[in-house]
Chain A
């Protein structure tokens, strides 16, 4: 599980630049053989749709560099799953669902 709060200066994540920085931090922390990726948003109060959009873009690039689709889990998401998040995932060719524990699971449809 990769903690996001340690990578950022703010509790509300707003910009695409911040998302790209988070993406770079994840790439550094990710094991080469990993097939799934768990991100822990504990300590984060929220993120904007723009941040989430760019984060999925960065994860897409990471999947490409690994040569496989990475299944993404967002633990302790700081927002309620909404139609906007679903639309953003859809635009990246992904499907987003909410697990029983509240985590978001993101992967191919």
Chain B
């Protein structure tokens, strides 16, 4: 975060803040405005990763796909007045290197988005339930029976060893951990939707 602010010309005194050192920004915090832009950004990410030498090259596609699907969901469904933002980071940690993909928006949230589909209205009484429902195959607020594969595909990819996914929307949060357990619960309000995927590099 400090690096981003410095790049934008903000004077930061970070002398007593431990440096990240082992973190690399693959995609700096980026305003995601349209589907076309998401496609362009995803391609830039693949090109950047290919030239980076970071992590295992066979994981680049997984990273780009996960980011693209999360970003498309934000652009297409969030109705966010403040837009949507995303970044990708490579981080060395005690558990080994990981790629972090994060996308956030300030929109209507998953529950209200699914409520656009009358067939789903009774199935999504709470934000945390709505997140669970949204992860299922062919669930979409669009009423189009051919939609609703994006988040499902991210979840399927994350349900592989050592990967993590956290989705917070409204007062609900759902986390799929490294042990593949899935837990949805009530939490503090996030005014929109935040998705965070952690993938071993």
Could you tell me which A residues sit within 8 Å of B by CB distance? 10-18, 45-46, 48-50, 53-54, 57, 78-79, 82-84, 87-88, 91-92
B interface majority secondary structure: helix
> Are A48 and B69 in contact, CB atoms less than 8 angstroms apart?
yes
Docked pose: A78 CA to B65 CA in angstroms? 12
Contact A49 B150 (CB under 8 A): yes
Within the complex, the shortest CB–CB distance from B163 to chain A, in Å, comes to 14
Segment among B12-20, B22-30, B33-41, B127-135 that sits at the interface with chain A: B33-41
Query: How many contacts between A and B, using CB within 8 angstroms?
Result: 77
A91 to B137, CA, bound (A): 9
Which residues of B does A touch, CB under 8 Å?
Answer: 35-36, 38-40, 42-43, 46, 61, 64-65, 68-69, 72, 137-138, 145-147, 149-150, 152-153, 156-157
The answer, among B145, B147, B149, B150, for a CB contact under 8 Å with A87, is B149
Contact partners of B150 in chain A: CB under 8 A: 48-50
Judge whether A45 and B61 touch: CB under 8 Å. Answer: yes
**Given B40, B138, B146, B153, which contacts A10 in the complex, CB threshold below 8 Å?**
B40
A53 to B138, CA, bound (A): 11
Is there contact, CB below 8 Å, between A53 and B42?
no
Contacts of B38 in A (CB 8 A): 14-15
Q: Is the CB of B146 within 8 A of A12?
A: no
Please give me the residue from chain A that is nearest to B156 by CB atom. A84
Query: Contact: A57 with B42, CB < 8 Å?
Result: no
Q: Are A12 and B43 in contact (CB under 8 A)?
A: yes
Contact of A14 among B68, B138, B145, B149 (CB under 8 A): B68
Residue from the list A17, A18, A46 in contact with B64, Cβ < 8 A: A46
Asked if B61 contacts A79 (CB within 8 A), the reply is yes
Q: Are B36 and A46 in contact (CB under 8 A)?
A: no
Q: Let me know if B39 and A18 touch, CB within 8 A.
A: yes
Given contacts A49-B152, A53-B146, 5 further A-B contacts (CB under 8 A): A17-B35, A54-B146, A82-B156, A91-B138, A91-B146
B72 proximity list for chain A (CB < 8 A)? 14-15, 48, 50
Chain A: which residue is nearest B153 at the CB level? A49
Q: Does the CB pair B152–A10 fall under 8 Å?
A: no
Alpha-carbon separation in the docked complex, A65 to B22 (Å): 55
Task: Name the CB-closest residue of A to B46.
Answer: A12
What chain B residues lie within 8 Å of A54 (beta carbons)?
Answer: 146
